[in-house]
Amino acid sequence: MRLMGLMRLMGPMGLMRHMRHICLMGLIGLMSQGLIGCSSDEEQPWESQLVTDAPIEVTSYVKWLEDPEGSNQAHGAYGAYGAYETTRAWEPPTGYSLFEEPDEHIGIAFTQNGQEPQQGNFFKSGSKWRTNVGDITAGTYYLYGYQPNSPSIGYGITDRDGANANYSDGAKVTLENVPAVMPGDLCVVIGAKDGTDKETVTGLRRGDFGYAAKAISGDVDNGNYVFLLFDHLYAALRVKMRVHGSYDALRTIKLKSLRLKIKAGDTPSTTKTDILVDLKATEGDNPIQSITYTSPVGAVAITDPLEFWSSAAGETLTTKFSTHVGHFMPKDITTLILTSKYDVYDKKDNLIRKDCMATNTMVLNDLLTGQTTTRRGCRYTVNMTIKPTYLYVMSEPDLDSPTVTVE
């Protein structure tokens, strides 16, 4: 499509809005060969697609993570992701808190009985939410989705009978080729509702997926306020790491990455997982009827641990705990193998040891009583301390080759 044809279809304002996705070389080629687009490092992949995207306001709440003993890790107004704003006109259901994932991107499907799903994304563009799901006419839809969305994850949806006839009664959500270890908290939508503004909604509850949409098209803001409830599909590992006080007086440790390998008994998990979630519309009960985790055809076992956190410059550790969280496929997992990479500096900031590697194997049954395999929605906390091989009788190699111990 040439430039003039694009202007006729989109209009001058629409063209200006999409021109931010066109790189300089593509713009030059546009004059003679047609439209060539590419995205900047800051853009999400779906933002760079030349599709109509429209403003929408999205507010998400997520179920609190639980500790291994089954009680909530957070109490009162504080959930696993911090406090929700007590000044809001509306408060989330008990056991849920504001979802505050740093990179908010949600795979979503607008469904109606007897119709093909309209799939796309909710994503942040600057400080504003937008959607590229396509043109939506006013009416009632049933919203099903997951987060964090990624172009590498296949997302499919049918009604509970494997067709498109009856989304009002629930849906089957399929996620394909999901990494077995992720930095983001993999969750599925278990409730949706339209709000009157971005802070107020009536009737949001799990098991109700109905959303009364106003027309969604182009850059016109028709006042669509989407409220979503999420539940966890993965388990979480919270690593709290510090440096022993005596060692911290002599050396500086800069943490560079955390990687995880998971095993079911003696069998490593595969690097990718397919997930099938059966959701049933309810009157407030848990809509998740079952979750099935399977290995994709041709999947390979994890050999090298999968990274869930990194810092190129390295994060300086102190005697106070620094916290990082990774998320992993929980089915039948009995063993967590954590690999930490860090540099060692003297107190004059001279690099002594580069890319030290420490591996800690944690068998769940040894850490906890009454639990042999991990559970989705559960957060497992491990306190770790970096210290020299021998604290009281040290040679120079002991000093510069510290170990990481689980407390």
pLDDT in tens, the chain (407 residues): 333 333 333 333 343 333 333 332 332 232 233 322 333 334 444 444 434 689 999 999 999 999 886 433 433 223 344 433 444 566 788 899 998 776 679 999 999 999 999 999 999 888 889 999 989 999 999 999 999 999 999 999 999 999 999 999 999 999 999 999 999 999 999 999 999 998 899 999 999 999 999 999 888 889 999 999 999 999 999 999 999 999 999 999 999 999 999 999 999 999 999 999 999 999 999 999 999 999 999 999 999 999 999 999 999 999 999 999 999 999 999 999 999 999 999 999 999 999 999 999 999 988 776 789 999 999 999 999 998 765 444 555 556 668 788 87
Q: Is residue 281 a part of any domain in this protein? A: no
How far from chain centre, in Å, is Cα 300?
A: 23
What torsion do the CA atoms of 191, 196, 200, 205 make, to the nearest 10 degrees?
-20
**How many C-beta neighbours within 10 Å does residue 198 have?**
15
Q: Is residue 162 a part of any domain in this protein? A: yes
Residues 201 and 259 in one domain: no
**How many C-beta neighbours within 10 Å does residue 55 have?**
17
Q: Is residue 66 a part of any domain in this protein? A: yes
Q: Is residue 294 a part of any domain in this protein? A: no
Residues 228 and 252 in one domain: no
Q: What is the pLDDT of residue 177?
A: 97
Angle (CA) 149-110-137 rounded to 5° is 130
DSSP notation for 313-353: EEEEP-SS-EEEEEEE--TT--EEEEEEEEEEEETT--EEE
Residues 226 and 240 in one domain: no
What torsion do the CA atoms of 370, 376, 379, 383 make, to the nearest 10 degrees?
70
Which ranges constitute the DSSP H helices of 20-94?
Answer: 24-33
H or E stretch including 400? helix 396-400
Q: Is residue 290 a part of any domain in this protein? A: no
Please state the domain count of the chain: 3
Q: Which CATH number is 61's domain given?
A: 2.60.40
Q: Is residue 284 a part of any domain in this protein? A: no
Residues 76 and 156 in one domain: yes
DSSP 276: E
Q: What is the pLDDT of residue 72?
A: 38
Q: Is residue 91 a part of any domain in this protein? A: yes
Residues 92 and 162 in one domain: yes
Q: Is residue 289 a part of any domain in this protein? A: no
Q: What is the pLDDT of residue 18?
A: 39
Domain containing 330 equals: 235-270+301-406
Q: What is the pLDDT of residue 82?
A: 41
Residues 209 and 113 in one domain: yes
Residues 186 and 258 in one domain: no
Residues 197 and 333 in one domain: no
Q: What is the pLDDT of residue 395?
A: 52
Residues 386 and 240 in one domain: yes
